[in-house]
């Protein structure tokens, strides 16, 4: 005997942004009489016998005379139904599997029920909560003769799923080399030159520049050649014509050294142009880990060989694409060398015995920079001798001297601020005035001592006379 026909399906649903309202739709077709509809949310928690299920909606035909939650259309002998469940302002905990269970009466017996079900996974996505760009490397002093790698880290938190992160320089997308490719390239068994492993249109030109006479200082010629050869050996940066031709150029410049003319305004930022590349490789690495709330934290790192001449005042931005965002989210920093530190002294009129604080309040900034980045290293020294506590130097944004003596009057203090892009010095003179209150206390102490002197003399005379009588 014919039992009855029942088909159940749930309409597909795209990812839903947290806070939106979602309607789940369960369509089923049958030629029998409806018995019940039950919606379940399937928990990720595993219990005995399978996953835990939470019942979120029930329709029982035995106790409901109307179909308030359903729409029906008659198609010959079949009935097409749709059951909907509305989830307002979905949250992270609403993410997961949902099931729609439908039961109809068996045509052969009203005591039997035919069951069928469908399921759908509701994916709740969350836009990033925050984005920031920081310098990854520990603070390093500025060096005129040694190139340093520099790393920017873009930190994106609170997103689900993990967003796509990319970097721009001065508004233009940066072509990067993923570190996975880099590790395979640096394997000596796979070739010496980076040019043979990557398309130059993707990664830029990473070749050694010929040492021309205009790039050299006659006092630095030997040092620059050694540095160049050492870097080529470490990085495998042989030029397009090989290392021999690079040495030939070096020998030509050795015979015709000239003196480099450095403008006075950049004397404190004298850069070895023969070490840097005008078109460096940018290496990219991305790490991610899950937070306790189910979102992802992403750290994207951009590393390159820093060129202070070209990179100073360069604008780097980190941008994020995410399906929950209508437009990219971004954070940006401007690389800037410290210039013209502004010092403040407290108290402004120091007296003997005061605690004096000299603090770096800020810097002279260019038109495109809002702060010095990366954060500089601050070093304090006293011109002509050690600091008050005997140390040769003090590191930090603030110099504190407790109970300054009169001997420090007129002393000159130097503050050196430096980051990988440059270095600058500034000086301040400490003027220490007499302290009237301290002088008054000293005068009172002297008077008290003077009053006690006669008593001490009398006591000594009495003691002396007593000693004489005894003898």
Residues 199-255 have pLDDT tens digits of 333 333 333 333 333 333 333 333 444 344 444 434 444 444 444 444 444 444 444
pLDDT in tens, 178-210: 886 443 333 333 333 333 333 333 333 333 333
Whether 169 and 302 have beta carbons less than 8 Å apart is answered as no
How far is residue 39 from each of residues 3, 73, 86, 114, 256, measured CA to CA in Å?
24, 22, 11, 16, 86
pLDDT in tens, 104-144: 888 777 678 889 999 999 999 999 999 999 998 766 678 77
- Asked whether the predicted pLDDT for residue 71 surpasses 60, the reply is no
pLDDT at residue number 180: 66
- Asked whether the predicted pLDDT for residue 53 surpasses 60, the reply is yes
- Number of folded domains in the chain? 3
285 and 165 both lie in a single domain: yes
87 and 130 both lie in a single domain: no
Tell me the residue range of the domain where 422 lies.
Answer: 341-433
Q: Tokens 């068994």 appear where? A: 189
- Asked whether the predicted pLDDT for residue 338 surpasses 70, the reply is yes
pLDDT at residue number 3: 61
Give the H or E element holding residue 445. helix 436-470
Select from 83, 4, 97, 85 the least CA-distant residue to 36. Answer: 83
Q: In whole angstroms, what is the distance from residue 168 CA to residue 107 CA?
A: 68
- Asked whether the predicted pLDDT for residue 65 surpasses 50, the reply is no
164 and 52 both lie in a single domain: no
Whether 102 and 28 have beta carbons less than 8 Å apart is answered as yes
pLDDT in tens, 258-290: 444 333 333 344 444 444 566 789 999 999 999
Q: At 143, which CATH number?
A: 2.60.40.10
Parallel/antiparallel/unpaired status of strands 177-178 and 283-290: parallel
- Asked whether the predicted pLDDT for residue 376 surpasses 80, the reply is yes
Q: Residue 418, SS3?
A: strand
Average pLDDT, the chain: 75
Residue 43 lies in a domain: yes
DSSP assignment string, 145-187: S---EEEEEEEEEEEBSPPEEEEEETTEEPP-EEHHHHHHHT-
Select from 63, 15, 16, 57 the least CA-distant residue to 38. Answer: 57
Residue 468 lies in a domain: no
pLDDT at residue number 220: 36
The beta-strand segments (E) located in 179-295 are 283-290
Residue 360 lies in a domain: yes
289 and 393 both lie in a single domain: no
With bands split at pLDDT 50, 70 and 90, how would you rate the model's confidence at 469?
Answer: low
Distance linking the first and last C-alpha atoms of the chain: 146
355 and 391 both lie in a single domain: yes
Q: Interhelix angle for 243-255 vs 221-235, to 10°?
A: 170
289 and 422 both lie in a single domain: no
154 and 88 both lie in a single domain: no
Residue 388 lies in a domain: yes
pLDDT in tens, 397-418: 999 999 999 999 999 999 999 9
30 and 106 both lie in a single domain: yes
Averaged pLDDT, 5-27: 93
With bands split at pLDDT 50, 70 and 90, how would you rate the model's confidence at 168?
Answer: very high
Q: In whole angstroms, what is the distance from residue 237 CA to residue 229 CA?
A: 10
Residue 252 lies in a domain: no
pLDDT at residue number 441: 56
Of all residues in the chain, the percent with pLDDT exceeding 70 is 65
Long-range contacts, 435-439 (Cβ 8 Å, 24+): 435/351, 435/352, 435/353, 435/354, 438/351, 438/352, 438/353
157 and 93 both lie in a single domain: no
Residue 16 lies in a domain: yes
Select from 350, 356, 349, 351 the least CA-distant residue to 399. Answer: 356
31 and 108 both lie in a single domain: yes
pLDDT at residue number 120: 94
Q: In whole angstroms, what is the distance from residue 167 CA to residue 169 CA?
A: 7
Averaged pLDDT, 19-33: 90
Q: Which of 308, 335, 362 is the last residue of a domain?
A: 335
Residue 108 lies in a domain: yes
347 and 385 both lie in a single domain: yes
409 and 428 both lie in a single domain: yes
**What is the DSSP secondary structure assignment for residue 261, as one 8-state letter?**
P
Q: Tokens 């097409």 appear where? A: 80
The answer to which of 172-186, 337-351, 386-400 has the lowest mean pLDDT is 172-186
Whether 394 and 382 have beta carbons less than 8 Å apart is answered as no
Other C-beta atoms lying within 10 Å of the C-beta of residue 93: 10
pLDDT in tens, 294-322: 899 999 999 999 888 899 999 999 999 99
Residue 371 lies in a domain: yes
């Amino acid at each position: 005997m014919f039992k009855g026909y029942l088909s159940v399906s749930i309409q597909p649903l795209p990812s839903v942004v947290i806070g939106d309202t979602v309607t789940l739709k369960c369509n089923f077709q049958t030629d029998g009489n409806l018995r019940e509809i039950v919606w379940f949310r399937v928990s990720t928690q595993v219990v005995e016998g399978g996953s835990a299920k939470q019942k979120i909606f029930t329709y029982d035909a035995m106790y409901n005379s109307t179909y308030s939650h359903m729409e029906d259309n008659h198609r010959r002998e079949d009935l097409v139904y749709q059951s909907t469940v509305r989830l307002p302002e979905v949250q992270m905990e609403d993410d997961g599997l949902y099931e729609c269970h439908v039961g109809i009466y068996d045509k052969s017996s009203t005591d039997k029920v035919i069951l069928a079900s469908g399921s759908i996974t509701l994916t709740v996505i969350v836009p990033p909560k925050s984005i920031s760009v920081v310098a990854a490397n520990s603070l390093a002093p500025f060096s005129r003769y040694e190139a340093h790698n520099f790393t920017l880290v873009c930190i994106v938190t609170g997103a689900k799923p993990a967003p796509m992160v990319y970097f721009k320089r001065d508004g233009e997308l940066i072509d990067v080399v993923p570190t996975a490719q880099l590790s395979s390239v640096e394997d000596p068994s796979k070739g010496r030159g980076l040019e043979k492993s990557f398309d130059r249109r993707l990664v830029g030109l990473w070749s050694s520049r010929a040492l021309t006479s205009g790039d050299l200082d006659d006092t630095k010629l030997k040092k620059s050649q050694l540095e160049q050869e050492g870097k080529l050996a470490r990085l495998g940066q042989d030029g397009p014509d090989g290392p021999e031709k690079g040495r030939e150029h070096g020998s030509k410049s050795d015979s015709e050294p000239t003196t480099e003319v450095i403008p006075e305004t950049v004397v404190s930022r004298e850069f070895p142009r023969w070490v840097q590349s005008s078109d460096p490789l940018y290496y990219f690495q991305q790490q991610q880990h899950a937070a306790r709330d189910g979102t992802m934290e992403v750290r994207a790192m951009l590393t390159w060989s820093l060129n202070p001449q070209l990179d100073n005042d360069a604008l780097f931005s980190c941008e994020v694409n995410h399906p929950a965002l209508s437009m990219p989210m971004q954070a940006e920093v401007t690389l800037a060398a410290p210039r013209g530190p502004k010092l403040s002294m407290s108290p402004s009129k120091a007296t003997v015995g005061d605690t004096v604080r000299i603090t770096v309040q800020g810097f002279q900034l260019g038109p495109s920079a809002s702060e010095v980045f990366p954060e500089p290293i601050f070093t304090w020294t006293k011109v002509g001798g050690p600091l008050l506590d005997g140390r040769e130097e003090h590191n930090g944004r603030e110099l504190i001297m407790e109970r300054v003596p009169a001997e420090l009057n007129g002393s000159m203090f130097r503050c050196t601020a430096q980051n990988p892009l440059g270095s600058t010095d500034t000086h301040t003179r400490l003027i220490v005035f007499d302290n009237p209150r301290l002088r008054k206390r000293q005068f009172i102490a002297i008077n008290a001592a003077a009053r006690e002197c006669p008593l001490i003399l009398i006591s000594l005379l009495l003691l002396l006379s007593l000693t004489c009588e005894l003898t």
